[in-house]
Amino acid sequence: MKSGFVNIFGKPNAGKSTLLNALIGEKLAIVSPKVQTTRHRIKAFLTKKNEYQIIFSDTPGIIEPKYKLHEKMMSAVKSALEDTDVALLMIDIRDNWNECDELFSSLRLKVPCIVLLNKMDSVKKETVVEAEKYFQTKDYCKKTIALSALTQKNFDELINAIVDLLPNGFPFYDEGELTDLPTKFFVSEMIREKIYELFGDEIPYHTTVLVNEFKEKTTLVKIQADIIVQRETQKAILLGSGGQMIKKIGMQARQEIEQFLEQKIFLELFVKVRPKWRDNEAQLKEYGYND
């Protein structure tokens, strides 16, 4: 039996969350075309009885820290670097290869790395071949795999390559488990995802979601969550005129959460203003951004 930790690194939008969700077959990591959607580390397990257990971790995209929230995100990336058996370095194959190379080199990884050339569905075959040639010469690159997280192409090849590099060992988690994070976390992520989907560029970056109540009753689950913003003007936008936007968020989030929990829920949302929460150490902690 083989088991170990595998982390997925790469610039925002490379497709890390999409890959993780597709591999595990559940929507664990929120996916969005906007950058920096993933703020936490998410662990997810892929187990094949008597063969392997791969513990995947999705990381926030690699970025330059611009404010405290970013610093937290980078330290999540670094902590991921230190406890991994195999690193998956993912690029969007349409991205600038030199920039990606500089980024990967700067991480100074000592673990075996597989370079994933993602979104192969969006380029010509020749581009894939060229990219493979380009990355195969790099010191950190043990192997390249071109794939599509979206269409799930070349997943078998990826899993085989990972299992080859994993150490022998027993599974860390039960076969039936998919993740180590509490349900509450996924609920807040799903609400956050709806905010990403419904609003323009600005709002989501000033927003976080805190689930205050998660009570399982006989026929449904009662959930109360706060949407935290930095300014009154943002609160007004989230509420919308006559409260139509918050209603929309609530409706869409409820559908998604019910699908995830396979249970009826009652969802209550409040919008609260907490000036500069992104720069406040105590508040970041309260909202779950600790390392």
Q: How far is the CB of 233 from ligand GDP (least distance, A)?
A: 28
Q: Does 96 bind ligand GDP (CB under 6 A)?
A: no
- How far is the C-alpha of 180 from the C-alpha of 187, rounded, in Å? 14
* Minimum gap (Å) between residue 128 Cβ and ligand GDP: 12
Give the separation between CA 93 and CA 55, rounded to whole angstroms: 25
- Judged by phi (left if over 0) then psi (alpha if -120 to 50, else beta), residue 38 lies in beta
Nearer to ligand GDP, 26 or 286 (CB): 26
Q: Shortest approach of ligand GDP to residue 188 CB, angstroms?
A: 17
- Contact status: 118 vs ligand GDP (CB under 6 A): yes
The interface partner of residue 15, options being ligand GDP, Mg ion, none and the CB cut-off 5 to 8 Å by kind, is ligand GDP
Query: How far apart are alpha carbons 82 and 291 in whole angstroms?
Result: 13
Site string for ligand GDP, 40-79 (x = CB under 6 A): ---------------------x------------------
CB nearer to ligand GDP: pick between 21 and 283:
21
What's the sign of the alpha-carbon dihedral 103, 107, 110, 115? Answer: negative
- Number of residues binding to ligand GDP, judged by CB under 6 A: 21
CA pair distance 189, 108, nearest whole angstrom = 31
Name residues contacting Mg ion, limited to 31-70 (CB under 5 A): 38
When asked if residue 127 is in the footprint of ligand GDP (CB under 6 A), the reply is no
21 binds Mg ion (CB under 5 A): no
Taking CB within 5 to 8 Å according to partner kind, which of Mg ion, ligand GDP, none is near residue 118?
Answer: ligand GDP
Q: How far apart are CA 168 and CA 244, in angstroms?
A: 55
What amino acid occupies position 177?
E
User: For the chain, how far is it from start to end, CA to CA, in angstroms?
Assistant: 31
Contacts of 177 (CB under 8 A, 6+ apart): 45
CA–CA gap between residue 101 and residue 268 (Å, rounded): 46
Q: Which stretch binds ligand GDP (CB under 6 A): 28-36, 48-56, 181-189, 199-207?
A: 28-36
- Smallest separation, CB 207 to ligand GDP (Å): 17
DSSP 73: H
Q: What are phi and psi of 142, to 5 degrees?
A: -85, -30
Of 52 and 196, which CB lies nearer to Mg ion in the complex structure?
A: 196
Q: Which of residues 10 and 171 has its CB atom nearest to ligand GDP in the complex?
A: 10
204 contacts ligand GDP (rule: CB under 6 A): no
Give the β-pairing of 86-92 and 208-216. Answer: unpaired
CA atoms of 162 and 166, how far apart (whole Å): 6
Residues that bind Mg ion (CB under 5 A): 16-17, 38
State the residues that interact with ligand GDP by CB under 6 A.
10, 12-18, 31-33, 37-38, 61, 118-119, 121-122, 148-150
